[in-house]
A and B are shown apart, each in its own frame.
Chain A
Amino acid sequence: MIFLDHNATTPMDGRVIAAMEPFLGKFFGNPSSLYRLGRISRSAIDTARGQVAALAGTDPARVVFTSGGTEANNLAIKGMAGKLPMGTIAIGATEHPSVLAPAEHLRKQGWNVRTLAVDSNGVLLRQNLQALPWADLRFASVMLANNETGVIQEVSAFAEHIRSQGAYLHCDAVQATGKIPLVFDSLGAHLLSFSSHKIHGPKGAGALVIDKSIDVEPLLEGGGQESNLRSGTENVAAIVGFGKACELALAELESRATHCLTLRQQLESGLAHMRGVTVFAENAPRLSNTVQFGLNGIDGEALVMLLDRKGFAVSSGSACASGAGEPSPVLLAMGVDADTAKSAIRVSLGKDNSETDIIAFLVALQTILRI
């Protein structure tokens, strides 16, 4: 099986597993316990916090560990809403379901939710900004890189405008993590979400970076762990793995990005020779590992299944929504017509893919098309 679905999840890095193993074994203490075994766990979490902060380009004190990206996004959006007077929030049109769904929940509670439109390349429109000011804008949520198309948004340009309204900005950096350089302190967002399993770390860990200027209400109440922002016994081994994955992602950021870009270009030049190919968001700045494309007249989900039988794991869109048979909301937001959107498949590359994988994939695609 050749795995080309790294935006859904990534295989664990052996070095990450090795870092986790002691904390799945002999160092099993509860970090809240005062004796040595507890302090070992506490100190391992502190180390991981530093590793995450280094990748995020911020101070370790800003990092709050969660169970993953979905929880981080929910904590950001519901957490801000809980502390702010009801008003308007602005959400990017192509956000992940874990941002859209909490925003929709707020709408039901009476919040005014406005969508920030994107152009045909999936890039947030500058006109959105000109439409500001909205007198009661409380916060906005804009992703750094899209999970389906890989489109990278110019978050800092938005940040400036949002801040000048006296509002806050959350940025979902789950797909951008480890793929593009990141400096929280100069990005301009107040909140930044991360997930471990998208960067060869374990599932079940993530983080929300929270600027000290903002007050967030917790989702989970209890023992007061994570500075009272996220109660519950810390998932020490997963946090350690997440930290290690961040350290490796930072150290290898350039080499991974260059490697993926070479493969993506190889893939895209192969696709260019096929008839009826549309590469979505082709002209936008994109993550070096992501290509979403469609073949005219071919259903994306059917193609994904045919490729699966030939030993290739790709996706028709986000894993969370896959199997629904609906055209991608991301592509619809870009103005792609429903039929073309239904043809979409997403190839997302990883550091362990090779040129041979791409050749094999292109051959398989050709074979399917000829049948």
Chain B
Amino acid sequence: MKTLYFDTAATTAIAPEVLARMLELLGGECAYANPSSAAHLPGQAAAAVVASARVEIAAELGCEADEVVFTSGATEANNLALRGIALAHAAQGRHLVTSVIEHKSVLACCAALQREGYEVTYLSPNSAGWVEPDAVARALRPDTLLVSLQHTNNETGIMQPIAEVAELAAQAGVLLHVDAAQAVGKFAINLQKIPIDLLSLSAHKFHGPKGVGCLVVRNRRQLRMQPLMHGGGQEFGLRPGTLATHQIVGLSAALSLAAARRATDLAHVGELKRRFLQQLGCLPMQVHGEMARSSPYIVNFSIAGIGSDALINQLRSDLAIASGSACSSGAVEPSYVLRAMGIEGEPLYGAVRLSFSRDHSLAEVSAAVERIGAAVSRMKELEISEVK
């Protein structure tokens, strides 16, 4: 029996169209040169490939091409955003606002900044899984430099009220960073319509390659930022290092493909999630987070009396799912995201995440439900189901 992969929030397969573009460049005769080798034709060809990728990405996100700063992924983009702003603006203030349910790359970076003398206010979500804009407004101080709030939570799929927060941050004159790793490609984000100052994204979350992402820095020319790394001056001095042409092309191709298919994919994935919940409804289960605000790509739920580790273990060769973020899935700690939503005890220790993609069929969703049902029955028979 083939393992069914339902963990696209951890990573996705590269789309065939995207891979084809990447392989052209990897094996190609023209664009293997260093894009910084401006003096010769192969270098110029590589630079042109990077430039057109930048334009494509900017067009999709509604920003300027020279506001796109390529990074090795969302972790680096998040670190660059937070540290880059905090260090460059330390004279104006040393206070940041974020939430307790951010991705670890934001939380760990905030913790490091705290050790260096910055103050961080961590907002809690409500029980529905989202941070209330009023809470953000109340946390702002005269010395607040930056609010960092994710677009879509990687564990629950709950979408944060970014538009409202963006408005209030703009009115208060405070910068806003949005970790949109779980949102870009999936949902339309138009930076011309919503005043986000810094936006992080990662290609491998939307059928692009691992190892590439970007930080969009709005009004980059006016905004002072300090780079994480120093070197050859690539990426407007914000991110040195030889540009990985094939990866950058993979990012832009994946984003363009996702944009072209967005309506279809959203409808399809929405239907997958609806059917999944409908079919799994025969088990005593509980979905975490407010449905109306949740991404159709992610569902986080617990089955009464079933521990997540035991369930994932039972399903190991049948169904690839996670109990939380991949980064922390090596640890057996319960989800800090769910805990922050006030979920405790059985539902907390039983929480698992399924995440969908455009490549899934309804039949695969039904098969996933069947496999979960069968695993639950087996566990009940074997009495290995008890929650810690």
Contacts and interface: CB of A to CB of B under 8 A. Distances in A.
Given A33-B7, A232-B105, A74 B40 contact: no
Contacts of B43: 5, 8, 313, 319, 322
A205 to B, nearest CB: 8
Nearest to A4: B40
A25 B19 contact: yes
Most B-side CB within 10 Å, residue of A14, A204, A304, A307: A204
B241 A68 contact: yes
A202 B26 contact: yes
Contacts of A246: none
B328 interface: yes
A237 B312 CA distance: 26
A222 B231 contact: no
Contact of A203 (B12, B247, B317): B247
Nearest to A101: B230
Interface in B344-364: none
Contact of A97 (B13, B14, B233): B233
A60 interface: no
Contacts of B104: 222-224, 231
Nearest to B240: A70
Interface string A285-314: 000000000000000010011011000111
Contacts of A232: 72-76, 105
Interface string A43-74: 00000000000000000000000011111011
A9 B42 CA distance: 11
Nearest to A26: B13
Interface in B309-337: 312, 316-317, 320-322, 325-330
Contacts of A25: 13-14, 19
A208 to B, nearest CB: 13
Contacts of B234: 320
Interface stretch (A34-42, A85-93, A136-144): A34-42
Interface stretch (B28-36, B58-66, B182-190, B373-381): B28-36
Interface string A7-43: 0111110100100110011101110111111100000
A313 B34 CA distance: 11
B232 A225 contact: no
Contact of A9 (B112, B242, B326): B242
Interface in B200-232: 202, 204, 209-212, 228-232
A28 B322 contact: no
A117 B230 CA distance: 22
Q: Which of B36, B211, B233, B329 has the most CB of A within 10 A?
A: B211
B273 interface: no
B240 A101 contact: yes
B94 interface: no
A2 to B, nearest CB: 10
A86 B23 CA distance: 46
A343 B38 CA distance: 17
The 7 closest A-B pairs by CB, nearest first: A223-B327, A320-B232, A235-B211, A222-B105, A204-B244, A101-B230, A98-B231
Interface of A: 1, 3, 5, 8-12, 14, 17, 20-21, 24-26, 28-30, 32-38, 67-71, 73-74, 78, 96-98, 101-102, 104-105, 195, 197, 202-205, 219-225, 231-238, 301, 304-305, 307-308, 312-316, 318-323
Interface of B: 3, 5, 7, 10-14, 19, 22-23, 26-27, 29, 32-34, 36-43, 72-76, 78-79, 103-105, 108-109, 111-112, 202, 204, 209-212, 228-234, 240-247, 312, 316-317, 320-322, 325-330
9 contacts: A1-B42, A5-B43, A35-B7, A98-B229, A102-B229, A197-B244, A223-B327, A231-B75, A321-B232
